[in-house]
Amino acid sequence: MTRTTAMQELSELSPQLPLNVLKDIDHRVSNWLARGGDENDPYIWQQVRYAKNYIAATFYGQDMSF
């Protein structure tokens, strides 16, 4: 059984995020990895939570008009 990595989760969520949010997450993740972090560290999972929370808070991509 393989577990989904944080980077895989971010990749799956990316189509639901606007460009400015993607750039912010990419910048944070790139800096983390450049400083020796691992792509499955808790910090990267925090970025996954941020992406999920953003999607949930904005209902991005869904027609919410009544």
The three-state secondary structure class of 3 is: coil
Residue 63 has pLDDT above 60, yes or no: no
What's the mean pLDDT in 5-22? 95
Domain ranges of the chain: 6-58
Contact, 28 vs 63, CB < 8 A? no
Residue 41 has pLDDT above 50, yes or no: yes
- Which band of pLDDT confidence, cut at 50, 70 and 90, is reported for residue 10? very high
Nearest CA among 58, 46, 45 for reference residue 17: 58
Residue 59: the pLDDT is 72
Pure H helices in the chain: 6-13, 19-34, 42-58
The one-character DSSP state at 2 is P
Residues 6+ apart with CB under 8 A from 58: none
Mean pLDDT, the chain, as a whole number? 89
14-23, 42-51, 57-66: lowest mean pLDDT where?
57-66
- pTM of the entire structure? 0.83
